[in-house]
A and B are shown apart, each in its own frame.
Chain A
Amino acid sequence: MENVLIKTNHLMKKYGSVSVVNDLNLEVKGGEIFGFLGPNGAGKTTTIKMLTGLLNPTEGEVFICGYDIRKRPIEAKAVMAYVPDQPKLYNKLSAKEFLILISSLYRVPKDIAQEKAEQLLDMFELQDRSDELLESYSHGMRQKVVLAAALIHQPKVILLDEPTVGLDPASARLLKDILQELAKQGAAVFVSTHILEIAERMCHRVGILNAGVLIAQGSPEELRRKIGHGEESLEDIFLELTGGKESAELIKSLEEE
């Protein structure tokens, strides 16, 4: 249990008789970036929502920094940050007001919150428009605001659901660097993504979820060894494991042509 900041025990979510996430056992340590991969509808977002406490699991447990998310949600949420796939924010607040609001909700002292907000807005190049209402922001800019809000209270665990959607290449690179910095500082980073290149280059370990079942986990090298094809990319492994072999072969044949 030492340094394990995210842990799930036999996590399961069912809607009626349909099982969306099935017997999920995960461990993510501090200083680790964990890539959570899976095809559409695999149960990634459901899993992340269970990890954040937004959704109650049908069975199983979630521990964040040792706190059971259902029994001690306030303590768990205090050390965690969540970046959803859609940056739905309070449209009638400015970016600066939003960051101050979030820091107040995390009980960050006001003077520190002001300073952090300024620094984060500057880092995400939002300073020029920080007093404008969020309703006038583009998707990418809102995404940056959510990321800034996630960092303002120095989380030990950060959960990101498709964080690169809507970001321009420079911002995506910025995000990647920030996540690496977070890991360097000892935080556990849990990121779900469709972009396998990001997972391959950034994540220390990846887990592949298919139809609610974790079918593989390990570092990209470990997965390559397990699958046993040596030089294959993570994309090939992913397609092979998630039943997309035909697609993989099709892509390969197209590349050969």
Chain B
Amino acid sequence: MSFLQDFNLLLRNQVRVSLNSLRQRRKRSLVGILVISLIFLSLLASLGSIAYGTLEAMPPQAAQGFLSLLFMVGMASQIFFGITAAFAALYMSDDLELLFMSPVSLKAVFAVKSLSVLGSNLLIAILFAFLPGIFYGLLFQAGAFYYFLVFLVGCGLWLLGAALAELINILVMRIVPPHRSKEAMGFIGAIAGIIIVLVVQIPNLLLNSQEDMNIGSWLTGKEEMLEIMNFFPWGWASLALVKGISGSFLAGLGWSILIVLLSVLLFLMAMILLERGFRQGFISLSQGEGGRGRKKHTSQIKNKNSTADNTLPKYSFIYADKVIPQAPSWVGTWAVAKKDLLSLKRDTREWFGYLMPLTIMAFFVGQYLFTSSKSGFSSLIAVLIMYTIMFSGNMALQSFGREGESDWILSSVPLAGWPVVWGKLIAAVLPTLILMEALLVGTSIAVGFSASLILLLALAAVLLSLGSSSIGLYYSIHNARYNPDKPQMRISPGASFIMYLTNMLFLLLLGLSLSYLFPPVELISMVESIPVLKFEGGFLSAILYVLYLISRPFLWPDVFRIMLGIILTGGVWSLIFFGFMAATVRQSLKGFKVEYVSNRKIKRKL
């Protein structure tokens, strides 16, 4: 009775907390969630329609294999996302310590926490377990009893996914030290992000290779693999539904009950192991600093304290030799850069800032390799250049937000302005450039560009990266944010968007200037065909006239056109780079602050 009372009480509290946090969410984040959900749903609808069409034309055994595959993908997603949910609900939970100290049953605590993991997996279970079953039934006009089997199978797979996620999470919690729990969450979240990005690319790939892609025929040739599926719960689930459709209700029921029993057993086992793990210290709470890393040294420190002679050390050395601050200011610049570079190297979450665009780019490279065409070469180089700009801007955008709660340090030292901003620029540009240059040069060599063109491209990438980074730094110093729940969210979305627009403008201006240097033949022939235009007054006429004037240098003699190109390219780049750098320096001299943001509200740090 006590367990039920505690469970009821804690469950109500958990629901209240969830509802409150949902209510407290800012409207902007709700709109964001809605937009992402719509994109996700449209993606699923397109994938679903492909799957539905494929099922229709499939022989029964292949259909069973297809369902097994779907359930397996669902199970994998449930385990993956469930680990994140379990990690957040158990390891990073703020209330565990409080609950452990309260006179409530620990079993009830873990039952409620496990339920919240189950709740977070509901969407995946609906998409990959319940819906495929329902649509399969609709396709073959199954009777009412079949849907009872779908319910059992769906619940079984749902429970099983959550149970397996919790069991794996026990190992994750054992491996990850408490002080790196947030980092681990970011790491898992980033992997999830990459998986989502890859999934989003699937319809694109399917459309590109529509003629070759036939899931039915692919499955027909894989009977042996499909038979192996029958040894796993997702295979049982598929067997249960196929038996249900073909009229063998009892066999279908048998397989369904087997899944349900296994999942209940594993779920109970996960709950018991979790409770024991926490109770017996196998898993430690994430609260507090230090953790296991510290324990190793406690005895050493204790010994040192106890053996120390109680006379206090002398402190005269603090002022013994006069320290004259005579190191050159580039030492400070490098110190700022080194600090950021070390943070980039040591924080695994930072790597994913690089991995995400690299993964997307890998797709482009992959796509190019599969559809190897001449036009693909130049578009790949264009993609790489675009990425260099966007990526550089984005990495620079993170710079000042990286200071986080430690922003007082850079604000209280006698170093501001150029040394700090140069330091930040070096840290933002260096890793980005190395990566992008490697990709750009590597691709250019693979494509077979001439050495001079490769050199030119590499130089262009450096200049573009520097220009774009200076824009990023400017928006970073003005819009730096820190969110303790999401430490990687370091900039306001609005500022990020404006930075991208500014970068686009930079690219446009630079592109125009460069086109005077390397005019495309098509453009020159088009400009030649434009008749003489005169300004006739009015806004539209003014725009047309400006465009007309811009087009005239294409018809100038080469020497003048190239000279104009050099002046404009250099001018645009210098104006953007030094303009934004100087503006950032001005703000740095005034002092910068990182805006403290929580999921609920924004406040300026005092």
Contacts and interface: CB of A to CB of B under 8 A. Distances in A.
Nearest to A102: B413
Nearest to B312: A177
B179, B347, B589: residue with the most chain A Cβ atoms closer than 10 Å:
B179
B69 interface: no
Most chain A CB within a 10 A radius of its CB, from B316, B317, B323, B335: B323
A52 B182 CA distance: 32
B403 to A, nearest CB: 8
Contacts of B312: 173-174, 177
Contacts of A136: 177, 179, 289-291, 293-294
Interface in B307-323: 312-313, 315-319, 321-323
A40 to B, nearest CB: 14
A109 B326 contact: yes
A77 B288 CA distance: 33
B327 A110 contact: yes
Given A153-B325, A154-B319, A128 B591 contact: no
Contacts of B288: 138
Most chain B CB atoms below 10 A, which of A52, A112, A174: A112
B318 A105 contact: no
Interface in B244-273: none
Contacts of A137: 289-290, 294
A123 B317 CA distance: 10
B331 interface: yes
Nearest to A112: B323
B305 to A, nearest CB: 7
Nearest to B323: A154
Contact of B318 (A102, A129, A154, A170): A154
Contacts of A90: 339, 343, 406, 409
Interface residues of B, number: 56
Nearest to B304: A125
B300 interface: yes
Nearest to A88: B405
Nearest to B405: A88
B27 interface: no
Interface in B321-376: 321-329, 331-332, 334-336, 338-339, 342-343, 346-347
B586 interface: no
A108 B327 contact: yes
Interface stretch (A178-186, A201-209, A214-222, A239-247): A178-186
Contact of A135 (B180, B318, B329, B338): B180
A56 B606 CA distance: 10
B297 A106 contact: no
A80 B408 CA distance: 14
B285 to A, nearest CB: 15
Contacts of A92: 342-343, 346-347
A109 B328 CA distance: 9
B293 A93 contact: no
Contact of B415 (A49, A105, A135): A105
B537 interface: no
A54 B591 contact: yes
A104 B331 contact: yes
A104 to B, nearest CB: 3
B411 interface: yes
Contacts of B294: 136-138
B346 A133 contact: yes
Nearest to B293: A136
A129 B339 contact: no
A158 to B, nearest CB: 11
A78 interface: yes
A45 B606 CA distance: 9
A177 B315 contact: yes
Contacts of A86: 405
A82 B409 CA distance: 9
B414 interface: yes
A179 B300 CA distance: 28
Nearest to B344: A92
B332 A105 contact: yes
A107 B326 contact: yes
B378 to A, nearest CB: 41
Interface in A172-198: 173-174, 177-178, 181-182, 185
Nearest to B345: A92
A92 B404 CA distance: 12
Contacts of A135: 179-180, 289
A164 interface: no
Contacts of B327: 104, 107-110
A55 B414 CA distance: 15
Contact of B289 (A120, A139, A151): A139
Q: Which residue, A90, A120, A123, has most C-beta atoms of chain B within 10 A?
A: A90
A75 B414 CA distance: 7
Contact of A105 (B300, B319, B413): B413
A226 to B, nearest CB: 32
Contacts of B293: 132, 136
A107 B325 contact: yes
17 contacts: A55-B606, A56-B591, A78-B325, A88-B404, A90-B339, A100-B335, A104-B335, A106-B415, A112-B323, A120-B318, A125-B304, A129-B297, A136-B289, A137-B289, A137-B290, A139-B289, A181-B315
Interface of A: 45-46, 49, 52-56, 73-78, 80, 82, 84, 86, 88-90, 92-93, 97, 100-102, 104-110, 112, 116, 119-120, 123, 125, 128-129, 132-133, 135-139, 142, 151, 153-154, 170, 173-174, 177-178, 181-182, 185
Interface of B: 177, 179-180, 288-291, 293-294, 297, 300-301, 304-305, 312-313, 315-319, 321-329, 331-332, 334-336, 338-339, 342-343, 346-347, 404-406, 408-416, 589, 591, 606
**Lowest 5 CB-CB distances: which A-B pairs, in order?**
A104-B335, A78-B414, A107-B325, A88-B405, A77-B414
Given A52-B412, A86-B405, A88-B408, 7 more contacts: A75-B414, A106-B325, A109-B326, A109-B327, A136-B291, A181-B316, A185-B319
